[in-house]
Amino acid sequence: GRTLATVAGNVEQAEQVLGYATERSQAANAAVASGDKGEAVIAVRDAQHALAQVQQLTASATGAERAFAEAAARAEAMRADIEGDVAAARAMRSGDPALAAAVTRADTVLRQGSDPRDPIAAVDALTKANTEIDAALAAARGAQEQQQRAQRALDDALRDARARISQARDFISLRRGAVGTTARTRLSEAERALDDAVDLATSDPARALGAARAAEQYAAAAMDAANDDMGGWPGQGGGGNGAQLGGLVTGIVLGGLLGGRGGSFGGGSFGGGGFGG
């Protein structure tokens, strides 16, 4: 599924980078024993950078697991919401053809169920059906009720957009050397759309809802583009992890030799919490 693909290989990479950190710490000890302080400093820095990368990889995997669980819960909540919308639409007996069509499409999505291995895909399908039936109901209801429903939907959409943007940002940051401009552009568009949604939340909840949903779609597009750069769904192929690890270790070694200038693989400079003794 999409969520699992965002962290495919993280555990394996973390284990291998941890092995590299161990090797460099041993090299540091050997350098100290031989009196080569310069080599000892480089080796310690390499080990610190590697340990920081391990922390990032494991944190990303933990975050994806949390997103997976949240998406599953969100899908169930959305199903209940859509079922309520369908019941309300039928109770209205408005005869509106647009509302009737939205009810038919919502029923179809509800009958299809969801793949337990990919709750995010289920959320995408349910979101589309929910958007359609919400719009049809809003047209058949009074303006005051429409605004109230838009505000409730906006809260959900803002939460979903923030989660999707955070997921895409983490994925791209951890693989920045391999991710191209398309993914970064979509992520920037997602962040701008989210800012617009927040700005409009009080004055125009309906427009803010559209901006929040656009932000989520842009973030999903950023993830798709980033994964295309990495080799596509699912995972990254048999050689993908090795290639990434090679780039990772190269970045770590170069980062150590250059004294940490310009950042290391995974982004930013690593501080504290490192290897000491």
The pLDDT, as a whole number, for residue 7 is 62
How far apart CA 266 and CA 230 sit, in angstroms, is 15
Considering 153-167, 219-233, 235-249, the range whose residues carry the highest mean pLDDT is 153-167
The pLDDT, as a whole number, for residue 254 is 37
Q: Which amino acid would we find at residue 250?
A: T
Res 188 pLDDT > 90: yes
How far apart CA 118 and CA 113 sit, in angstroms, is 12
Band of pLDDT at residue 221, cut at 50, 70 and 90: very high
Phi-psi region of 37 (alpha: psi -120 to 50; beta: other; left: phi over 0): alpha
SS3 letters across the chain = CHHHHCCCCHHHHHHHHHHHHHHHHHHHHHHHHHCCHHHHHHHHHHHHHHHHHHHHHHHHHHHHHHHHHHHHHHHHHHHHHHHHHHHHHHHHCCCCHHHHHHHHHHHHHHHHCCCCCCHHHHHHHHHHHHHHHHHHHHHHCCHHHHHHHHHHHHHHHHHHHHHHHHHHHHHHHHCCCCCCHHHHHHHHHHHHHHHHHHHHCCCCHHHHHHHHHHHHHHHHHHHHHHHHHHCCCCCCCCCHHHHHHHHHHHHHHHHHHCCCCCCCCCCCCCCCCCCCC
Which range has the worst mean pLDDT, 103-112, 133-142, 149-158, 224-233? 224-233
Structure confidence by residue, pLDDT tens digits, 2-29: 555 566 666 677 777 778 888 888 888 8
Res 250 pLDDT > 60: no
Q: Where are the domains of the chain?
A: 143-228
The pLDDT, as a whole number, for residue 216 is 94
Res 1 pLDDT > 60: no
Q: Give me 139's structure tokens.
A: 């047209």
Hey, is 259 helix, strand or coil? coil
Res 105 pLDDT > 60: yes
**Helix count (H) and strand count (E) of the chain?**
9, 0
Phi-psi region of 8 (alpha: psi -120 to 50; beta: other; left: phi over 0): beta
Q: Give me 219's structure tokens.
A: 């973030």
